[in-house]
Amino acid sequence: MAIVDRFVSGMVVTCASAAVVAVPELTSAHPLGMTDVLVIFKTDGTYQIDLATDLDNFAEEFHQSDDAAAREARLRALRPTELNAIAERVKGTLSRRVRIRFDQVSVDPAVTLPDFVVPLPAGPLASVLGGTARLTGQVPTNAKEFTFGLSRAFYTAQLTILDQGTASGIKYALGVSEDSPPYRLGQPSQAGDRAQIVAQYLLLGFEHILPLGVDHILFVLGLFLLSTRIRPLLWQVTAFTIAHSVTLGLSMYGVVSLPSRLVESFIALSITYVAVENLLTTELKPWRPAIVFGFGLLHGLGFAGVLRELGLPEGEFASSLIAFNVGVELGQLSVVVLAFLAVGWFRKSAWYRATIVLPLSALIALIGFYWSVQRALFGPPG
């Protein structure tokens, strides 16, 4: 028993540490959001790729834990040569974290930072290096196909490809570290087939839970921790699934909408609520599925916000919406399965509640409360 106790205690500490490290608002001074990528193939045979993201994320010198005023003073004290050196290092980092291929052969683009100027302009420094990285180069002679991808450092991406020669283009929603489907150069508009689109949005929905949806993961874990029996968990998960499916669909069809700050703040409060109730009760109360249903409505609006950023392809609106929702469900089920594999073996043990449920619920409640305050005051993470 002593060996089991030590194992479980170590697991709790590991899970707690992992939860804190995984929270982007707690660990990153400049959280990365959706990266917009615009690729233009020009009539002169060149290409231009603009990445819209906060480039300061890629400069280690900008991540010191100063307050805003101290950080700005420190950066303004840097000499132009020092700032230019930082910019050059970031250019090198970007060129290594972007995958540009023609006919499956990688090319190395020229990288510029159009918004970066020295000396630094007057006024508050929202970003030193700017919000755009531009990659340019020559399309290889007789190239037939183009693919594009970003490393995991960029989160997910909305990719738009425009071809000046054919006056056509296409949009792709890229998951974490995913390459785009091959784009056939010099040919008119190329909509992907239904199977490809469904698979793409299924993956995006799954990735929005694992590994990216830390707030949704914590909510599902809060549901999991309530009881040692399966039936109460199934009641809650079913209520949550029905609710967020309803508001996800209604929101994407423009029937219902709420401000993002309000939605994300209440999502954080929902995490706090289920965790606190876990601390106060050991069984499913009659009102809990109804409350979880209400929280599910809010989470559905949160999913819709992400899906609006990704965009839905014309002609496949319904199928991609359903695929994204199914991907979300698979992600949530995966969280439950992983939780069972991690601690489910001990759910009947006398020490399970004191050693597993109470510490993890308390941690989840604290994180949820921190998020609710942060989001209410400063808005959702960008």
Residue-wise pLDDT tens digits, 1-24: 333 333 333 433 334 434 433 333
Residue 121's pLDDT is what? Answer: 79
Q: What is the DSSP string of 96-110?
A: HHEEEEETTEE---E
Residue range 109-131: mean pLDDT, rounded: 84
**Is 292's pLDDT higher than 80?**
yes
Residue range 152-166: mean pLDDT, rounded: 83
Q: Answer for the pair 93, 111: CB distance below 8 angstroms, yes or no.
A: no
Beta bridge partners of 158: 36, 173
Phi, psi at 53, each rounded to 5°: -160, 165
Higher pLDDT, 228 or 186: 186
Query: Is the bond into 381 cis (omega within 30 degrees of 0)?
Result: no
Q: What is the pLDDT of residues 217-270, one digit of tens each?
A: 999 999 999 877 888 888 888 889 999 999 999 998 889 888 888 999 999 999
Share of the chain above pLDDT 90, in %: 40
* Two structure tokens written together for 217: 């993961």
* Two structure tokens written together for 137: 């180069």
Q: What is the pLDDT of residues 50-63, one digit of tens each?
A: 998 888 888 877 76
Q: How confident is the model at residue 167 (pLDDT cuts 50, 70, 90)?
A: low
Q: Answer for the pair 143, 103: CB distance below 8 angstroms, yes or no.
A: yes
Residue 273 CB burial class (10 angstroms; 0-12, 13-18, ≥19): buried
DSSP conformation class of 179: B
State how far the Cα of 59 lies from the Cα of 176, in Å rounded to an integer.
21
Beta-strand (E) ranges in the chain?
A: 35-41, 46-52, 98-102, 105-106, 110-112, 132-138, 145-150, 157-163, 168-174, 183-184
* Two structure tokens written together for 301: 């609006």
Residue 208's pLDDT is what? Answer: 85
Residue 316's pLDDT is what? Answer: 73
Residue 314's pLDDT is what? Answer: 61
State how far the Cα of 369 lies from the Cα of 367, in Å rounded to an integer.
5
Residue 250's pLDDT is what? Answer: 92
State how far the Cα of 316 lies from the Cα of 310, in Å rounded to an integer.
14
Query: Helix, strand, or coil here: 181?
Result: coil
Beta bridge partners of 105: 102
Share of the chain above pLDDT 70, in %: 85
State how far the Cα of 146 lies from the Cα of 104, in Å rounded to an integer.
8
DSSP conformation class of 41: E
Phi, psi at 142, each rounded to 5°: 65, 15
**Is 99's pLDDT higher than 80?**
yes
Q: What is the pLDDT of residues 301-335, one digit of tens each?
A: 998 887 776 667 666 778 888 988 999 999 999 99
Query: Helix, strand, or coil here: 172?
Result: strand
Residue range 171-180: mean pLDDT, rounded: 86
**Is 30's pLDDT higher than 80?**
no
Residue range 170-176: mean pLDDT, rounded: 84
Q: Answer for the pair 129, 157: CB distance below 8 angstroms, yes or no.
A: no
Higher pLDDT, 172 or 7: 172
State how far the Cα of 32 lies from the Cα of 371, in Å rounded to an integer.
17
Residue range 364-377: mean pLDDT, rounded: 92
On average, the pLDDT of the chain sits at 82
Q: How far is CA 234 from CA 55, 145, 230, 296, in A?
A: 44, 47, 6, 14
Q: How confident is the model at residue 46 (pLDDT cuts 50, 70, 90)?
A: very high
Higher pLDDT, 7 or 49: 49
**Is 189's pLDDT higher than 80?**
no
Residue 19's pLDDT is what? Answer: 40
Q: How confident is the model at residue 97 (pLDDT cuts 50, 70, 90)?
A: very high
Q: How far is CA 260 from CA 298, 299, 327, 373, in A?
A: 10, 11, 22, 14
CA dihedral angle for residue 306, residue 214, residue 52, residue 320, rounded to 10 degrees? -30
Q: How confident is the model at residue 348 (pLDDT cuts 50, 70, 90)?
A: confident
* Two structure tokens written together for 332: 């949530």
User: Using N-to-C axis directions, what is the helix angle for 2-22 and 358-378, rounded to 10°?
Assistant: 10
Q: Answer for the pair 176, 152: CB distance below 8 angstroms, yes or no.
A: yes
